[in-house]
Amino acid sequence: MTALVSGEVVAADFEEGDQVQEGDVLYRVDTDSVETQISSAYKQVERAQEDYEEALADYREAASHYDSLDYVTPSGGYVRSVSVQEGSAVQEGAALVELYDDSVMQLDVPFAASVAEGISVGDAASVTVNRTMDVLTGTVAAVEDHEDAASGGAVTRTVTIEVENPGGLSEGMTASAEVNGMPCSADGTFSAPDGTTVTADYGGKIEEVFVAKGDYLEAGDALFRFTADSVQDQLESLERTLENAENSLEDAKDSLENQQDQLADYEITAPISGQVVQKNVKAGENLNAGTSQGAMAVIYDMSALTFEMSIDETDVLDVAVGQTVQVTADALPEESYTGVVTNVSLVSSSSNGVTVYPVTVRIDEPGNLLPGMNVSADIVLEESADTLVVPVWATNWGTTPRSFPAGSNSARPLRGRWSATRRSS
């Protein structure tokens, strides 16, 4: 067992000789550092999610806007000024037109300072339009504190009167006024209240402008038309921004997932079931991932044992995976074991002109065998059951006939098992 993470071991609740099961937690490593990284990764995902949602909303809104090349005004009124022209490029937030509403007009007129002191906001006013001599009713909207010097040494203060437009008033027209029966010192000039500046929610290059100063617009009227190429450029730019935001979000999620996966490595579990034969790291010690600090613990699976035997090159072609192996141990002379060939390696070694190949044998029932014991083994190459067996002494290798003693049963056929073996120890 080796460490994949760094940190202080806070628990190691096992000892040498203990039997453990695969998956048992053997070591716990302090997780403060990785939990801090996970918290930071969560925040990065949240920020990336917000950026993605914002980019998606911008793209969808722009796609909706650019469904038509015409840019329309969100509000109505008279055009006081136009800030764009054909061929110019419009950026998001740029001023387009200034609109004003003339349904209520303002009249700024001077009153003698002594008279103005008696005028209050909300007082009724009588307004006479010079051009038409129409008399209109108005209301005082403001009285300036600032005093101005008029001709002849008089001191005046400006009073602002609001008048509902009957339809004939326009900016620049003049009128006189009376408040509380007191006349103004001079004529004043009508103006519309402060206007509304329409700014661009999205940009592009203007192909044609549809409005001019003095025009009256209603909400939804077109101000100008974008070029098709500029609209396509804007959509592609927003699409790239959206793709980048989506990629950043996926990267943030992957980083968080990696951090969470790493958290599992701070609980080090037994990779197999077996007996602990070495415990090299104890609670309170520090781990350094990626260094050659060796195994933290060693576990032996005693349910089966393996050993390797060297087979001469002249015999190895007769050996195959699955063949039975008869095994004896020097330390246990009264016992025998059965194994099986699990691997015939092609990685040979040579010494003094002799080439041998390693063959791996597994013993599934090791009994009292222990790791490290010396064993001898015979590989059973062939077996034959119910075979006629003749004693060697009963065979004749020459040309002279062989006789058998009287009463001998040596010529009687014997049934048994025959095997050919290759031995290694």
- State residue 264's pLDDT score: 85
Instruction: Answer yes or no: are the C-beta atoms of 78 and 140 closer than 8 Å.
Output: no
- State residue 152's pLDDT score: 72
Instruction: Answer yes or no: are the C-beta atoms of 394 and 404 closer than 8 Å.
Output: yes
Residue 241 and residue 235: Cα distance in Å, rounded? 10
- C-alpha angle 253/254/255, rounded to 5°? 90
Mean pLDDT by 10 residues, the chain (425 residues): 83 91 92 90 95 94 90 90 94 92 92 94 96 95 91 88 92 94 94 88 92 92 94 92 96 92 88 90 85 80 90 92 93 93 94 93 92 91 74 62 50 37 48
- State residue 397's pLDDT score: 59
DSSP, collapsed to helix, strand or coil, labels residue 239 as: helix
Nearest alpha carbon to residue 185 among 114, 125, 124: 114
- State residue 288's pLDDT score: 82
Instruction: Answer yes or no: are the C-beta atoms of 27 and 8 closer than 8 Å.
Output: no
Beta strand 104-112 pairing with 155-164: antiparallel
Crossing angle, helix 32-65 and helix 228-264, to 10 degrees? 160
Residue 279 and residue 277: Cα distance in Å, rounded? 7
Instruction: Answer yes or no: are the C-beta atoms of 127 and 187 closer than 8 Å.
Output: no
Q: Which two tokens stand for residue 289?
A: 């991932």
The set of residues, in sequence order, having a beta carbon less than 8 Å from that of 351 and lying 6+ positions away, is none
Residue 182 and residue 198: Cα distance in Å, rounded? 41
Q: Which residue has the tokens 């006024």?
A: 177
Q: Which two tokens stand for residue 284?
A: 């309170």
Nearest alpha carbon to residue 165 among 196, 188, 134: 134
Q: Which residue has the tokens 């190459």?
A: 381
The type of residue at 1 is M
Count CB-CB contacts under 10 A for residue 116.
22
